[in-house]
Structures are given as C-alpha cells and as structure tokens.
C-alpha cells in the first residue's frame, strides 16, 4: 500500500480527535492474508503501544479456544454442555414478569452458546432480566467483575428458539477452563498466543501493563467527553472470574495479529481448514440452529444508556458464525458480503473480509457503545483501505 493510504487514514483519525468534542484517542489498522500490515495509524492519547479493555472483542478469542477443544474432542458442538458444566442444568427460565422461574425444556449446547441462541442475555437490554437483577440481594450483575451476576443469571427464552446477545460466551469460557484445567489466560497463552509469538493479551491488569492501560471515557448526552472511573475488571485487584465474553485486555498489534491469523487460516492457530470454514458459516441456517437471520433484525433496549444506547432494528441481511456476526450484505465502503465482524463496548470494532483478504481493527476507549465519531472514522478508514486495494489491482 502507498504512503498516501497512511496519510489518508492518519487524517481521518486526527480529524475525529481534533473535532469539537473530539475523541480522546483512536488507533486503526489493516492486515492482509500474507500477514502484511497494510496501514497502522494512531491519534490522540491512544498509541499502538496502549493496552485497552477489549470487552466483547474477547469473544472471538474464546471462540478460537473453544473450537480448538472441539477439534481435540474435549468439547462437542451439539451435545448438552451440561456434560462439561453440570451446573448449567440448574439454570431456570425467567418469565416475562421478571419473577417466576421454571425449568427449561431444551438442553443448551456449545453451538447455542457460540451463536447467542442459548437463552442467556444481558440484563441491561431485557425488561424481565433487568427487574430480576435489580431485585438480587447481592446486587451483582454482568459488569460487577465477578462470576456471580455473570453466569448465574436465568434464561429469558427456551434454548435454541431465539437470539439474544448476552453472557453465552462467558459460559463458553467456563467450559474452556473446566476441560483444560487452566484459566482462560493460561489456556490462551499456551495454545493461541505462544504459537503466534504474541504475548500482549491478558485477563488481568498486571503491574507491568498498568502504566500502558488507557483511561476510560464517557460521552455525556450533551456530546462532551469526560474521564470516568474504570470498570471493576480493570481495577488493580482484577476480576474474580476470567470472562470469555468481556474480560481481556490487549495491545493493538497483538489483536491485529490474531485477526490476521484467523483471516489467513494460520496453521499456528491449531485449527483445520474445515473448522475455520465452520466458524465462518452462518449457523442460523434452519439446520445447525433451527432459526434464520431474521431473529437478528429487532430493536435493542437499554436500561443503562451510559453503557450502550437503545438501537433501532437493522433490516440488513445478517447471520451468525461461531462467536461472531456475519454481514451477508456487506457495507458500502467496500466490505464484502459474508464478512465477519464483532465489537467491544468501549468502541473497539473488527472485521474479517475473506473475499478480499483484509482484516481491519479500530480501538477507542469511550462509552456509550456505537459512538458515531468512532464508527464514522472506522467506516472511512476502512473505506480508504478498500479504495487503495482496488487502485492497486
């Protein structure tokens, strides 16, 4: 790629930082299937050396770990996961009144957990579960930084009958730890990071990375930005439970390297071509999961707008792979139909476009989620990469 691409992307990020009520910092990068970095740029407080709270970017890492264990016969996609996690059999189904609990009829599988069709959700976006959580005597919820309130919440629908974003990947993390006998950090370090010769993903804020950890910011309703307190899992004492859904921290080059490895099917990941293909296959095909992508096209509620806003229904054609979403329609900035993507609450976003051989990543550390300045910069920076690619072919 040309130096003009670097200049374009640098200007996009700098404009987003220097605008009125501009972002505290941004980092963007793109990599191809050869592992070549096409562009990396940073503006504001964030640098490529910064550690950030990845929140739900953690999910694709846990997805890789889970599928390694499926390949090794330690986990299975379609058998009841209670064979590994017997405590999940005790989880009840919550009625719409937010009080009544009954025993679910269907068994939860790993495939359901990896596709968010298990029946678990986040309380901040569901009226009945919000009521239930607010009534808990211990006051625990999914952002408490503890196991309690994260994977002891009830279901909100029968497993396999709908889709809801939530704590399913935290249960996946629990399964990984149970069958491996290791913490998530230990397992991923040994089986994912070390083979790729990377080290900078942690589930704890250790003293050596504390000086590199980015501050966390909040955009207030009037558009102004203020620094806010850290989340419990970012504090020096660390979380009491290593979450597969939102618990990790990482540096930009490390996460971009991981995305590039998944894009390229790097043998160091320990995943066969068939396993990777299954991960990128839409599971909401009426067969693997007896649902279609229509279940994804519904508005989201928010009882904690400081974390994430209520969002309208998105009618675009989407699906779900094993731990990430698939955009069947692509995006008008050049991202191909069938690309995979996911994000993290502090406005970190990634995409893997296997058709055009590009993975992209942007980091911010600001809430609420889906900040227009971040998503706008990401859309434009990624568009510049696609335009540069088209010009060079």
Q: How far apart are CA 280 and CA 24, in angstroms?
A: 34
pLDDT at 142: 76
pLDDT at 83: 98
The encoded tokens of residue 382 equal 């990624």
Answer yes or no: are the C-beta atoms of 260 and 35 closer than 8 Å.
yes
pLDDT at 127: 95
Question: If you average pLDDT over residues 55-84, what whole number do you get?
Answer: 98
- Residues 258-309 pLDDT 10s: 999 999 999 999 999 999 999 999 999 999 999 999 999 989 989 899 999 9
Confidence of residue 173 (pLDDT cuts 50, 70, 90): very high
Going by the DSSP 8-state scheme, the letter that residue 94 receives in this structure is E
List the single range of 149-153, 200-204, 369-373 with lowest mean pLDDT: 149-153
**Among candidate residues 364, 384, 360, the one with its CA nearest the CA of residue 262:** 360
Task: State CA 244 to chain mean position distance.
Answer: 10
Confidence of residue 148 (pLDDT cuts 50, 70, 90): confident
pLDDT at 109: 98
Query: What are the start-end ranges of the H helices in the chain?
Result: 3-18, 58-71, 110-114, 127-134, 168-180, 184-188, 252-264, 273-279, 372-391
Q: Which long-range contacts (CB under 8 A, 24 or more apart) does 70-74 make?
A: 70/110, 70/275, 71/270, 71/271, 71/272, 71/275, 74/179, 74/180
Q: How far apart are CA 211 and CA 314, in angstroms?
A: 40
Q: Is the pLDDT of residue 137 over 90?
A: no
Residues near 102 by Cβ (< 8 Å), separated by ≥ 6?
92, 93, 95
Q: What φ, ψ does residue 234 adopt, rounded to 5°?
A: -95, -5
Q: Which CATH architecture has domain 3-391?
A: 3-Layer(aba) Sandwich (3.40)
Evaluate the CA torsion angle 209, 61, 265, 337 in order and state its sign: negative
**Among candidate residues 271, 269, 202, 190, the one with its CA nearest the CA of residue 234:** 202
> Residue with structure tokens 């739900």?
56
Residues 35, 39, 40: CA angle, nearest 5 degrees: 105
- Residues 78-92 pLDDT 10s: 999 999 999 999 999
Q: How far apart are CA 271 and CA 249, in angstroms?
A: 23
Q: How many residues does the chain have?
A: 393
Q: How far apart are CA 277 and CA 127, in angstroms?
A: 36
Task: State CA 385 to chain mean position distance.
Answer: 23
Confidence of residue 150 (pLDDT cuts 50, 70, 90): confident
Query: What are the start-end ranges of the H helices in 249-343?
Result: 252-264, 273-279
pLDDT at 149: 78
The encoded tokens of residue 16 equal 């987003």
The residue extents of the domains of the chain are: 3-391
Strands 249-251 and 348-353: unpaired
Confidence of residue 1 (pLDDT cuts 50, 70, 90): low
Confidence of residue 72 (pLDDT cuts 50, 70, 90): very high
User: Between 103 and 247, where is the model more confident?
Assistant: 103
pLDDT at 59: 98
- Residues 225-240 pLDDT 10s: 999 998 877 776 667 7
Percent with pLDDT over 70 in the chain: 98
pLDDT at 145: 67
Going by the DSSP 8-state scheme, the letter that residue 338 receives in this structure is T
List the single range of 144-153, 316-325, 334-343 with lowest mean pLDDT: 144-153
Question: If you average pLDDT over residues 13-24, what whole number do you get?
Answer: 98
The encoded tokens of residue 100 equal 């009544």
- Looking at the DSSP bridge assignments, the partners of residue 326 are 319, 340
Supply the Cα-derived Rg of the chain in whole angstroms: 20
pTM above 0.95, yes or no: yes
């Amino acid at each position: 790629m040309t130096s003009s691409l670097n200049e374009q992307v640098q200007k996009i990020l700098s404009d987003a930082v220097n605008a009125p009520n501009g972002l505290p910092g941004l980092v963007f990068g793109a990599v191809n299937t050869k592992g070549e970095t096409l562009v990396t740029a940073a503006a504001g407080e964030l640098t490529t050396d910064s550690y950030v709270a990845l929140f739900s970017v953690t999910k694709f890492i846990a997805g890789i770990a889970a599928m390694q264990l499926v390949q090794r016969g330690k986990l299975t996609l379609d058998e009841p996961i209670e064979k590994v996690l017997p405590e999940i059999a005790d989880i009840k189904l919550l009625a719409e009144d937010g009080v009544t609990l009954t025993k679910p009829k269907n068994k939860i599988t790993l495939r359901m957990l990896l596709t968010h069709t298990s029946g678990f959700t986040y309380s901040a976006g569901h009226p009945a579960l919000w009521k239930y959580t607010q009534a808990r005597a211990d006051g625990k919820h999914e952002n408490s930084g503890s196991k309690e309130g994260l994977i002891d919440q009830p279901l909100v629908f029968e497993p396999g009958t709908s889709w809801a974003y939530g704590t399913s990947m935290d249960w996946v993390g629990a399964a990984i730890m149970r069958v491996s006998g290791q913490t998530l950090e230990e397992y991923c370090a040994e089986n994912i990071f070390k083979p790729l010769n990377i080290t900078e993903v942690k589930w704890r804020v250790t003293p050596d990375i504390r000086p590199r950890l980015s501050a966390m910011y909040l955009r207030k309703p009037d558009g102004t930005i203020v620094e806010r307190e850290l989340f419990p899992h970012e504090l020096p004492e660390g979380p009491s439970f290593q979450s597969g859904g939102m618990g990790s921290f990482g540096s930009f080059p490390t996460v971009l390297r991981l995305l590039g490895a998944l894009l390229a099917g790097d043998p160091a990941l320990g995943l066969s071509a068939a396993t990777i293909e299954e991960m990128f296959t839409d599971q909401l095909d009426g067969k693997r999961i007896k649902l279609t992508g229509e279940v994804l096209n519904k508005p989201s509620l928010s009882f904690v707008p400081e974390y994430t806003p209520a969002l309208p229904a998105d009618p675009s054609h989407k699906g779900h792979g094993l731990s990430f979403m698939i955009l069947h329609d692509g995006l008008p900035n050049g991202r191909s139909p069938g690309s995979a993507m996911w994000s993290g609450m502090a406005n970190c976003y990634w995409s893997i476009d296997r058709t055009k051989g590009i993975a992209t990543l942007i980091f911010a550390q600001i809430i609420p989620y889906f900040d227009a300045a971040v998503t706008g910069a990401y859309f434009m920076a990624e568009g510049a990469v696609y335009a540069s690619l088209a010009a060079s072919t």
